[in-house]
Amino acid sequence: MKRVAFVTEARFPRLTVDDRLAVGPLRERGIRVAAARWDDPGVRWGSFDLVLLRSPWDYYKRAERFSRWLDAREAEGCPLWNPVPLVHWNMDKAYLQDLAAAGCLVVETELLDRGSSADLARLLRRRGWRRAVVKPAVSAAAWRTFTAERSGAAARQPRFERLLDQGDVMVQPFMDEVTAEGEWSFIFIGKDFSHSILKTPKTGDFRSQEEYGSNIRAAEPPASLLAQARRALAACGRETLYARVDGVRRKGKLILMELEVIEPALYLSFDRGAPARLARAVARRL
């Protein structure tokens, strides 16, 4: 029986509820799944036939250590997916600039280097943004993320400066579509589109992540929107075992907000066939 590691972290020693849905379909194909913490020095990564980054959802808090861990796996020839060079590229949200250069319609982004001296209110005036989202360039799950109104940006300046002291920072206009229609997530398994969902923040919040109480529902995407999501994934230029393309719809266009190829939640529970699709993709890779 083949052995596959689902890489996780301390909060999910037995996998996430969603990832457990793939265990049965994989077992039916003669593949046994084991949960393995990325930071556990006792794990023998070479004993697995395949290693999947599934829920190491604390990586961005220890990004340098995680990068070293990735490099060590690559050096020992560990069959890790998605591939290490792609993961490194995706860790820093500056990758959005690469996607924009490739022709993707990407949310406007102001990237600021660590230690930069910048005035948030002046930045918003220059950009013409009434409201903005501010977050670390290496982050996930709305970690240290906040919004700032142009009229109240001066009060947010100390928080903004603390972020700049800690690392690179990105500022983006707040996309009203997130709280209106919602944020689209397109899940791809292998090269194929699997399913999509819409995530809408709860009233009074701006965060669309499940842990903040957002409303998540399955949704059939318009063909044109799906085509744009496919192009965004293709623009990363590398083969993926799984990926999630996140964005909002504005005037019929998909404005890309994230391309998640490290450890995206795949929302397997929102499509009956999704766990089996993931199992097939893993079996093909083996």
Q: Is 25 inside a domain boundary? A: yes
> Residues of the chain with pLDDT > 70: what percent?
96
Residues 130 and 21 both lie in one domain? no
Residues 102 and 53 both lie in one domain? no
Q: What is the reported pLDDT for 205?
A: 65
Choose among 87, 140, 133: nearest CA to 108.
133
Q: How far is CA 58 from the centre of its chain?
A: 12
- The structural domain count of the chain equals 3
Q: What is the reported pLDDT for 204?
A: 66
Residues 166 and 191 both lie in one domain? no
Q: What is the reported pLDDT for 162?
A: 93
Residues 60 and 135 both lie in one domain? no
Judging by beta carbons within 10 Å of its beta carbon (0-12, 13-18, 19+), is residue 11 exposed, middle or buried?
A: exposed
Give the pLDDT mean for 89-93. 94
Q: What rounded mean pLDDT belongs to the chain?
A: 93
Residues 155 and 181 both lie in one domain? no
Q: Is 238 inside a domain boundary? A: yes
Give the pLDDT mean for 63-92. 96
CA atoms of 92 and 30, how far apart (whole Å): 36
Residues 102 and 190 both lie in one domain? yes
Q: What is the reported pLDDT for 213?
A: 61
Q: Say if residue 207's pLDDT is above 90.
A: no
Residues 99 and 226 both lie in one domain? yes
- How far, CA to CA in Å, does 236 sit from each of 32, 196, 258, 260, 271? 30, 20, 12, 11, 25
Domain of residue 157: give its range: 110-174
| pLDDT tens digits for range 175-186 | 989 989 999 999
Q: What is the reported pLDDT for 208?
A: 64
Residues 132 and 238 both lie in one domain? no
| pLDDT tens digits for range 231-262 | 999 999 899 999 999 999 999 999 999 999 99
CB atoms within 10 A of CB 45: 19
| pLDDT tens digits for range 217-233 | 999 999 999 999 999 99
| pLDDT tens digits for range 13-72 | 889 999 999 999 999 999 999 999 999 999 999 999 999 999 999 998 999 999 999 999
Residues 57 and 10 both lie in one domain? yes
Question: What CATH code is carried by the domain that includes residue 78?
Answer: 3.40.50.20
Question: What CATH code is carried by the domain that includes residue 154?
Answer: 3.30.1490
Q: Residue 150's pLDDT band (boundaries 50, 70, 90)?
A: confident
Q: Is 275 inside a domain boundary? A: no
Looking at 152, 174, 196, the residue that finishes a domain is 174
Q: Say if residue 138's pLDDT is above 90.
A: no
